């Protein structure tokens, strides 16, 4: 008998940014966040897990290269939590269920995009890992329950358990049992939304999110203002904008939150710079594009957002995709070939 399952999960791109932990072991955030999960095939992790009593230990390969699983690290924690759920929710309830929780697992995961280039590979990676083990173990769990486990792999991973528009509620409990992802709206609610990923650089980033955000927590006063006075209001505003399909309001909040995330990075000691000159030129282009749109119609047509790296994500509606792609290509000429200096993916069928 072969016990094996494969699952795939996409990247999500935050509009309200997660930056800062109040508990680094359980990965509990200092503020709630909200993202859009991409639905195209370009940016996904696909993971296969197999349980077999003949395996000597749990092992994991990422893009073909073995990664050590060190307890009590994040990978080991996720695998142990899922084995525990298998035992408690399946094997203890049904004596005939195979005792998969006692078998070592082998896990192979592939990203179809550059790892750790500020393109949220840990989000799709841990979401796919948790989904594949949950399928292998036939866990009777909702995506929100699985998000509690994915969160312990990488905070932003909890949001990739859902498609569409997803909130990670920070929660208030010390054990983290209320710090989970919930669906704000399915992708089908607003299918006209597109995300254009502009790969400015696919180099590995200089400051990892994990260490960068803790330095921010320790040193930035602006972060405290953001946590208390800014994010709660913005979470409400963006949820309302999504529910009402109000792109102008969505764009305004998304750009403001990207700006503030990079401001708290700059307010960190020593300061962290994630954007580069090309990133800033793309901001200028989108600001000008929106200025003209507002003059004509009173509304914004595009929203930029940047994570812990220089790559731009531009949210826009289907009707503007062609125009924006042409604009980007005009001002940032593409070299032939896949990588240099600037790679643009334009989704065909929604985010
Ligand atoms: C986000 N980022 O909300 C924010 C915006 C980067 C900028 O989540 O330490 O890789 O694994 O919980 O999830 C990046 O942080 O950090 C991130 P860990 P993670 O998408």
What's the pLDDT tens digit per position in 77-97? 999 999 999 999 999 999 999
pLDDT tens for each residue of 9-67: 999 999 999 999 999 999 999 999 999 999 877 789 999 999 999 999 999 999 999 99
| Residue boundaries of the structural domains of the chain | 3-188, 193-345
End-to-end CA distance of the chain: 39
Q: Please give the distance, rounded to the nearest whole angstrom, from the Cα atom of residue 209 to the centre of ligand 1.
A: 6
Binned at pLDDT 50, 70 and 90, residue 118 comes out as: low
Q: CB of 132 closer than 6 A to ligand 1?
A: no
Residues 6+ apart with CB under 8 A from 282: 198, 200, 304, 312, 314, 328, 332
Q: What is the mean pLDDT of residues 327-345?
A: 61
Q: CB of 342 closer than 6 A to ligand 1?
A: no
Answer yes or no: is pLDDT of 349 > 90.
Answer: no
The secondary element (H helix, E strand) that includes residue 128 is: helix 121-136
Q: CB of 151 closer than 6 A to ligand 1?
A: no
- Domain 193-345 has what CATH class? alpha beta
- Which of 337, 22, 245 lies closest to 151 in space, CA to CA? 22
Cβ burial of 247 (10 Å; 0-12, 13-18, 19+) is buried
Q: CB of 307 closer than 6 A to ligand 1?
A: yes
Q: CB of 257 closer than 6 A to ligand 1?
A: no
Domain covering 3-188 assigned CATH 1.10.10.10 in the classification: no
If one residue of 127, 150, 154 were mutated to test the ligand 1 pocket, choosing by the most ligand atoms within 8 A of its CB, it would be 154
pLDDT tens for each residue of 211-237: 999 999 999 999 999 999 999 999 999
pLDDT at 40: 75
Q: CB of 26 closer than 6 A to ligand 1?
A: no
Answer yes or no: is pLDDT of 170 > 80.
Answer: yes
pLDDT tens for each residue of 124-140: 999 999 999 999 999 99
Q: Please give the distance, rounded to the nearest whole angstrom, from the Cα atom of residue 338 to the centre of ligand 1.
A: 26
pLDDT at 337: 42
């Amino acid at each position: 008998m072969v016990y094996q399952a494969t699952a795939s999960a996409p990247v999500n791109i935050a509009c309200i940014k997660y930056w800062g932990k109040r508990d680094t072991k359980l990965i509990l955030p200092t503020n709630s966040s909200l993202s859009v999960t991409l639905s195209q095939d370009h940016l996904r992790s696909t993971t296969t897990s197999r349980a077999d009593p003949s395996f000597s230990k749990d092992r994991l390969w990422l893009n073909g290269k073995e990664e050590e699983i060190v307890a009590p690290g994040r990978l080991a924690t996720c695998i142990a939590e899922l084995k525990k759920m298998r035992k408690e929710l399946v094997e203890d309830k049904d004596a005939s269920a195979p005792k998969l929780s006692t078998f070592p697992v082998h896990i192979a995961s592939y990203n179809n995009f550059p790892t750790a280039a500020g393109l949220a590979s840990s989000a799709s990676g841990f979401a796919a890992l948790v989904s594949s083990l949950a399928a292998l173990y036939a866990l009777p769990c909702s995506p929100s329950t699985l998000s509690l486990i994915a969160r312990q792999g990488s905070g932003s991973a909890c949001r990739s358990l859902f498609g569409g528009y997803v909130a990670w509620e920070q929660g208030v409990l010390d054990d983290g049992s209320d710090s989970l992802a919930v669906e704000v709206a399915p992708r089908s609610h607003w299918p006209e939304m597109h995300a254009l990923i502009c790969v400015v650089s696919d180099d590995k980033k200089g400051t990892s999110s994990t260490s960068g955000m803790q330095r921010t927590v320790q040193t930035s006063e602006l972060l405290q203002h953001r946590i208390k006075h800014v994010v709660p209001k913005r979470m409400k505003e963006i949820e309302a904008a999504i529910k009402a399909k109000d792109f102008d309001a969505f764009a305004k909040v998304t750009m403001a939150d990207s700006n503030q995330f990079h401001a708290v990075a700059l307010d960190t000691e020593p300061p962290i710079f994630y954007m580069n000159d090309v990133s800033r030129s793309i901001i200028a282009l989108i600001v000008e594009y929106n200025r003209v749109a507002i003059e004509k119609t009173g509304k914004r047509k595009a929203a930029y957002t940047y994570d812990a790296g220089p790559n731009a994500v531009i949210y826009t509606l289907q009707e503007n995709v062609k125009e924006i792609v042409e604009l980007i290509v005009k001002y940032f000429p593409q070299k032939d070939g896949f990588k240099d200096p600037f790679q643009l993916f334009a989704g065909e069928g929604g985010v």
